[in-house]
Amino acid sequence: MKLLRRTVAYARFEPRLSNTRPVWVDALQAMVAGALAVLAFAPFFAWPIAVVSLVVLFSHWVRATSPTRAASAGFFWGLGLFLVGVPWLYVSLHSYGGMPAPLAALAILLFCVYLSLFPALAGYLQAKMPLALHVRLLLLMPVTFVAAEMFRGWFVTGFPWLILGYTQTPSALSLAPLAGYAPVFGVFSISFLLAATAGAIVLAPAKLSGVVITATLRRCLTIGGTSVWISGVLLGAYEWSSPSGAPMPVSLAQGNVPQDLKWREDQAAASLENYLQLVEQSRGKLIVLPETALPFMLQDVPRAVIGAMADKARAQGGEVLLGVALRDTSPAADGTRRYYNGAVAFGTTPAQQYAKHHLVAFGEFVPPLFSWVYQWLKMPLSGFTPGAEKQLPMRLAGHRVAVNICYEDAFGSEIAGSLPEAELLVNLSNMAWFGTYLAADQHAQFSQMRAIETARWMVRATNTGLTAAINEKGRIVASLPQFSRGVLEVLATPMQGATPYSRWRDVPMLLLLGCALVFGVTVSMRRRSKVEN
């Protein structure tokens, strides 16, 4: 309550006054607010800070004397968010990619600058539409903010990291009242509701034209805001899916192989022995190994290793799902071979394969015009080909299992494409690339949100963590400590049924954003036309 009172006090202003403070003061405040927003994500889960951060940003947008100054506030807010939230990329560039330290630091700074252009664009657009204050705060600012998040998650293959809606994933530390909207409209709807809540907090103490209107509006804000948050709790209690069978024993292996040793030839035998031992220890009908668990192409893995794993799976009446790089059996027409970041399953059923579709720029493929980057960046397996966009779930241990690899679970509409056929979701990852700072915890929130959106269990097998089992409500029911070696034994319940989000994906949110932006542009053009006439 003390935090809320201070936030409302900060937002108390007369919106018709000009902002006479120095630009650097506004920039510093916005940057600190953006940096603090990182505490709303895992592993801190202090989600109210996300609302507080947006209150500061929206207050700056209202006070801004020009679209440029509003864009500046959005830019510095984003710069604070990303400089604190994603510096783990430095580890992959410098420590494992071989990029010189000064150049890697500069690359991270430029990347954060690029990401900050999206909230800057949101600030500029909302300022260019001079609508009534209550319309701006309750509709236009939330709409432009979320539109910028969605655009960032799509543009140039997308980087949907630190989307504010992810702060509403449940944890042992906090409840997630708005998570119930995820199975209906997805993660971006939660971002919108958080932003609208911040807009209402900014609006509540503002001076409007008349005491009666102000009192009425405040009552509407209180009733409407309370209803939205209570409805989120009620939706969260609704069962969108039901068990399609008995809980299935699943073994999730975490090999804890350091990234600097993973691809060394003198460590290959040790890696094989490591995962053979973990498979031998496993008791599940489905045994899952992480992304690129073995430092070989599938065709180069010793047959004895595959045979031993398959024998273990067959003895337990199931399959092994192994993350491994794949190679085409024959060259393409131009004589080149295609390689895939993939997974293969074998055991009681015929072998099945999955090839990762949504690849990571610079890590798994080179974007056009950027081949020069590899003068300084030495990434193994950076020439992958994307797999087919639509791949059917595998039939594993008697159930249909949809596989996704690493970064793919950041894209909700793509994961939802496996429904309603898929009964269980499986993510294979290797977060050893990014060191010990935040990345693994933030990435696990993707899996939590995908579980909520689809009302399916998501089990994750990773090299160094976070290896976990997540139920259909997005709660982590079991996990292994990060940077430890072991096997997580869980009972994962296969589910059936389809959520509204799995049918509609992000279409409702896109329609809302599009209609709101068209409305804002139309009203703004009419007002300008009247002024000119």
Say which residues have a Cβ less than 8 Å from residue 424's Cβ, sequence separation at least 6: 248, 399, 400, 401, 402, 456, 457, 458, 459, 492, 494, 495
E strand or H helix at 357: none
Supply angle C-alpha 62, 52, 71, rounded to 5. 35
Options 149, 291, 319, 453, the catalytic residue: 291
Which residue matches tokens 């594993």?
Answer: 396
Residue 220 appears among annotated catalytic residues? no
- Nearest alpha-carbon partner for 154 in 339, 414, 490: 414
Q: Where are the beta strands (DSSP E) in 126-280?
A: 242-243, 248-254
Put residue 465 in one of left, alpha, beta given phi > 0 → left and psi -120 to 50 → alpha.
Answer: left
Tell me, yes or no, if 390 is annotated catalytic: no
Cα gap 230→213, rounded to integer Å? 25
Sign of CA dihedral 158, 142, 201, 222: negative
Q: Report the sign of the C-alpha dihedral through residues 501, 507, 512, 517, in that order.
A: positive
| Pairing assessment for the beta strands 248-254 and 486-492 based on DSSP bridges | antiparallel
Catalytic residue, chosen from 406, 408, 423, 453, is: 406
> Could you confirm whether 356 is annotated as catalytic?
yes
Cα end-to-end distance, the chain, whole Å: 50
Q: Which listed residue (112, 356, 423, 473) is catalytic?
A: 356
Which are the catalytic amino acids?
A: 291, 356, 406
